[in-house]
Amino acid sequence: MTQVHSFEFSPFAENTYVLWDDTKECVIFDPGCYTEQERQILRQHITQHDLKPVRLINTHCHLDHVFGNKFVADTWNLELEIHHGELPLLERFEQTCQMYGIPNIQPSPMPGKFLEAGETLTFGETALEMIFTPGHSPASLSFYCEKEKFLIAGDVLFYESIGRTDLPGGDFNTLIQSIRSKLFTLPGETMVYPGHGPATTIRHEMEYNPFL
């Protein structure tokens, strides 16, 4: 069984996820750890559970989801993996932080591998389908586990809300289309783990999300 553990990091209250299964191999999604204390919280969790990080993934490359990329890549000797359509955002990471007045950042490494929608992300005995869900950002990916019915959604879909579309690369109509045509076709019981806020389900969002 795949374990999904979340951490709320940085002043943006971003959800970082660590996923692992019985093999102890794990994937780190969207490391938003901004302070040294947050970086040590992540390190301690992985050490305490005797996990072996094997992949570093950004669902998308807005700054709050990449603060910890360098720390994770350096600590566990991992290459960053993103969709190639997110590269322009990642290349502007330091400039964007300066624009927001965010000090003391660690520059993100550039990706060592590009992910493609429709392919399968694997670690240990776990397989995640990569779903192209742009709209909040130019090329956000969501990651669906068919076997265990859960979704790592990034900032596409939240509990009774959706990702903002007023940032560079955002588009409201594209986001709504991504959710309705790509995510609302998943089983209703699918657990949704978003980039901010509490977890939800596809069924709950289909019934109660005021934006959809």
- In tens, the pLDDT along 152-164 reads 999 999 999 999 9
* Under 8 Å between Cβ of 21 and 126: yes
What whole-number percentage of the chain has pLDDT above 70?
100
Mean pLDDT, range 114-122, rounded to an integer: 98
Return the DSSP state at 135: S
What does the mean pLDDT of the chain come to?
98
Please report which helix (H) or strand (E) contains residue 127, including its range.
Answer: strand 126-132
Distance CA 211, CA 205 (A): 9
What whole-number percentage of the chain has pLDDT above 90?
98
* Under 8 Å between Cβ of 72 and 108: no
**In 59-166, where does DSSP find H-type helix?**
69-76, 87-91, 93-100
Mean pLDDT, range 108-136, rounded to an integer: 98
Mean pLDDT, range 175-185, rounded to an integer: 99
Looking at residue 91, which CATH number applies to its domain? 3.60.15.10
Residue 171 has pLDDT above 90, yes or no: yes
pLDDT for the residue 168: 84
The counts of H helices and E strands in the chain are 6, 14
pLDDT for the residue 23: 99
Name 135's bridge partners.
Answer: none
Mean pLDDT, range 125-143, rounded to an integer: 99
CA dihedral angle for residue 86, residue 180, residue 32, residue 110, rounded to 10 degrees: -20
Distance CA 175, CA 80 (A): 25
pLDDT for the residue 8: 99
Return the DSSP state at 146: T
Structural domain tally of the chain?
A: 1
Strands 14-20 and 25-29, bridge-based pairing: antiparallel
Closest listed residue to residue 11, CA positions, set 107, 108, 102: 102
Mean pLDDT, range 74-80, rounded to an integer: 99
pLDDT for the residue 85: 98
Q: Which domain holds residue 105?
A: 3-208
Structure token pair of residue 114? 């590009």
Length of the chain: 212
Q: pLDDT tens digits, residue range 31-66?
A: 999 999 999 999 999 999 999 999 999 999 999 999
Q: pLDDT tens digits, residue range 78-103?
A: 999 999 999 999 999 999 999 999 99
pTM of the model: 0.98
| CB within 8 Å of 107: residues ≥ 6 apart | 70, 93, 94
